[in-house]
Structure 1
Amino acid sequence: MLSRIRIVLVQTFHPGNIGAAARAMKTMGLSELVLVNPREFPSIDATRLAAGATDVLENARVVSHLDEAILDCVQVVGASARLRSLPLPQFDEPDEMAQAVVQNADHAPVALVFGRERSGLTNDEIRACTHQVSIPANPEYGILNLSQAVQILAYEVHRAWRKRPESAFAYQRPVEATPPSREQFAHFQAHLGRLMHQSGFLTQPHARTEEQLQALFARAEPSRKELSLLRGLLSAFETYLPPDEK
């Protein structure tokens, strides 16, 4: 579905912004980029700022008119920094836009259109869209860089997509962050309790010290690797106990 969500940049002046936009797209799983009459492309600056997203640039299409970029789209959302007196549906919040875009992209291509760095989209270009979207910002300084605007709307689209059950999106948990099993945690707690008793740390049979320390480690939610380090630390301490205390 994300492959049917198209980013369209109209007459981008600085080629570096094209590269930065490509990078913003790739981080959010978007891959289709269309450039309408860019000042310079391909460009070394675009490639440099794309970082690892050069594949997005290599597959980008260059067209001479906005209509060529959106002709097959069922929804075209123009990003506008200010409200215009045009009779188009307006998304005041990007998340509302993203939900609609994701739903339409289930069936056919959709496009998010971004204008020039200085002047944005013209009224005629806005009229070519089906909707407008604004990014709420500081009213005293609401200026966003082109790639920043792409990043914000791409993030909202990805967020709307990953919230859908069928997306099967899952954060990748590093191996070292894998939580321990309940058996492993129980062994650690038993080891900790045994060492506290053997070392003489617990002197009052009815004190809740052991219970409180066990609760502390439970709240800390150590990973399997971290728990192993703690077990090693306890074992090291045990070597300093008198033989009859071990």
Structure 2
Amino acid sequence: MNHDASTADRIRIVLVGTQHPGNIGSAARALKTMGLARLVLVAPQRYPHNEADMMAAGADDVLASATCTDTLADAVADCRLVLGCTARSRRVQLQELHPRTAASRACETALAGGEVAVVFGRERTGLENEELQLCHAAVHIPANPDYSSLNLAAAVQVLSYELRVALLADGVTGMVEGQAAEGQARGAGHAPDRPASHAQMEGLFGQLAQTLDDIDFHKGRAPASAMRKLRRLFLRSELGEREVRLLRGILADAQRMARLAAGRH
């Protein structure tokens, strides 16, 4: 049984705001050479385009099955793990992973049944800070510091290779370990809590931000800074669906009490 094939199906490569259609075709080719097939395009500037078809060079099936979305949030809504590839540190403070570490973490998540997205930004400017906030961790390719400019398709190839290596090395072992853990949970009489999806986490963050406003938590301070820290805290916690529902119930009660205190019903 080929465990790594089903695991690979849960890993998608996401390209955000790609400017040159040839890079889309080259990225599709990079995926196919490493046994990956899921390509998602977020608001590409020129697509479909014959240059993308030409550069795919045999990976036409990957290109044909690629999906397009308007926003990164839509592209990763069902994901358990979102990794953003960035060439340099940004104001958004994220855990920074080496590509090999990132690939291993991605495969572990996919083996456990979670959807994974590896996200690449625009050729010139990369991912915006708001887009990086949607990611659980950043991935940095340790290129030559004297010439660190890496073509988009080349960066996709590097990460696709690392994912391939991780799938081949750990696929069977990870599947067996995952099945054993699931069996232990069933034996203990407790159904495991499914990991919260990206969309569920974003729903929590939206309600949390509104609740903090309702209770006047910020008191004149910049709300963005507090929310960045809270996002990092909750993303590190890797919450399950039941845990998110519990937290949202608490927030709903806090919002209700804030309305009562303000004389609103």
TM-score by length of 2: 0.61
Which residue of the partner structure matches residue 130 of structure 1? 136
Which residue of the partner structure matches residue 99 of structure 2? 94
Which residue of the partner structure matches residue 147 of structure 2? 141
Which residue of the partner structure matches residue 44 of structure 1? 50
Is the counterpart of residue 105 in structure 1 residue 103 in structure 2? no
Identity of aligned residues (%): 49
Q: 1:68 aligns with which of 67, 74, 89?
A: 74
CA apart distance, 1:126: 0.4
Q: Does the aligned pair in 1 maintain the 2:53–2:63 contact within 8 Å?
A: yes
CA apart distance, 1:84: 1.9
| 1:29-68 Cα deviation digits (max 9, x unpaired) | 1111110000111111001000010001100001111101
| CA distance in structure 2 between the aligned counterparts of 1:103 and 1:86, rounded to whole angstroms | 25
Is the counterpart of residue 5 in structure 1 residue 11 in structure 2? yes
Which residue of the partner structure matches residue 17 of structure 1? 23
Q: Check 1:150–1:165 CA distance in 2 against 1; reply closer, same or farther (3 A cut).
A: closer
Aligned to 2:102, the other structure's residue is in SS state helix
Aligned to 2:172, the other structure's residue is in SS state helix
More helix by share: 2
The residue type paired with residue 10 of structure 1 is V
Aligned to 1:40, the other structure's residue is in SS state coil
Which residue of the partner structure matches residue 121 of structure 1? 127
Q: 1:30 aligns with which of 11, 25, 36?
A: 36
Which residue of the partner structure matches residue 186 of structure 2? none
CA apart distance, 1:87: 2.9
| CA distance in structure 2 between the aligned counterparts of 1:41 and 1:85, rounded to whole angstroms | 31
| CA distance in structure 1 between the aligned counterparts of 2:157 and 2:122, rounded to whole angstroms | 16
| CA distance in structure 2 between the aligned counterparts of 1:67 and 1:60, rounded to whole angstroms | 17
Q: Does the aligned pair in 1 maintain the 2:91–2:129 contact within 8 Å?
A: no
CA apart distance, 1:94: 0.7
| CA distance in structure 2 between the aligned counterparts of 1:95 and 1:32, rounded to whole angstroms | 20
| 1:54-105 Cα deviation digits (max 9, x unpaired) | 00110000111110100000000000000123232210x2101110000001
Which residue of the partner structure matches residue 203 of structure 1? none
| CA distance in structure 1 between the aligned counterparts of 2:131 and 2:149, rounded to whole angstroms | 20
| 1:143-178 Cα deviation digits (max 9, x unpaired) | 0000000000010010011012628xxxxxxxxxxx
Aligned to 2:9, the other structure's residue is in SS state helix
TM-score by length of 1: 0.66
Is the counterpart of residue 157 in structure 1 residue 186 in structure 2? no
Please list every run of 5 or more consecutive structure 2 residues that lacks an aligned counterpart in the other structure. Answer: 1-6, 174-265
Please list every run of 5 or more consecutive structure 1 residues that lacks an aligned counterpart in the other structure. Answer: 168-246
Which residue of the partner structure matches residue 62 of structure 2? 56
- The alignment yields a C-alpha RMSD, in angstroms, of 1.1
| CA distance in structure 2 between the aligned counterparts of 1:32 and 1:165, rounded to whole angstroms | 18
| CA distance in structure 2 between the aligned counterparts of 1:11 and 1:164, rounded to whole angstroms | 33
| CA distance in structure 2 between the aligned counterparts of 1:123 and 1:25, rounded to whole angstroms | 26
Q: How many residues are aligned here?
A: 166
Greater Cα offset, 147-156 or 76-85: 76-85
